[in-house]
Amino acid sequence: MQPIKIKIGRSTKEYTEALNDLLEFDDKFGFIVMDGNGTLSVTLSGNTREVLHRFTVDLPKKHGRGGQSTLRFARLRMEKRNNYVGKTAELSTQFFINPATSQPNVVGLILAGSADFKTELSQSDMFDQRLEAKIINVVDVSYGGENLFNQAIELSAEILANVKFI
């Protein structure tokens, strides 16, 4: 069973929240999709996906100029990358750890992205150990945004065999 998507003319939030809780029996998988442009945090349960958070980042590209500033630009670039990974780790704890029980609220976690961001996140000290234990797949995808998430689902199809969204 899945949530009913029919709306009544007045605010129905207080009525549908309890019903949504009753209907959630499918396994819920978490996705953290990272690339050089931003991060997308999504849960996938049955044939329903919910975008929890999306944020963009403006990371500097590699600096091709020489001289005395080369090391400084490289250091600034690495600092911004580390800040980006740290913010993603903090947000993943916020979205995938239930504050009432202090336990993960997903059955499994899939990290997807281009470049080394997903690997940096999984090996980072800032990434929550409870979530690290829930990582079931790390997927390398070629392009960003919403398409990145769809490609991550396709590449994780064997693991997500019970999820009907595919």
The CATH superfamily holding the domain 24-155 is eRF1 domain 2 (3.30.420.60)
Q: What is the mean pLDDT of residues 85-94?
A: 95
Where do the domains of the chain lie? Answer: 24-155
Q: How confident is the model at residue 1 (pLDDT cuts 50, 70, 90)?
A: low
pLDDT tens, residue by residue, 11-23: 656 666 666 666 6
Task: Compute the distance between CA of residue 119 and CA of residue 117 in angstroms, rounded to an integer.
Answer: 5
Contact 112, 34 (CB under 8 A): yes
Task: Compute the distance between CA of residue 45 and CA of residue 159 in angstroms, rounded to an integer.
Answer: 13
From start to end of the chain, where are the E strands? 28-35, 38-45, 48-56, 97-98, 103-104, 108-113, 135-140
pLDDT tens, residue by residue, 122-152: 999 999 999 999 999 999 887 666 777 888 8
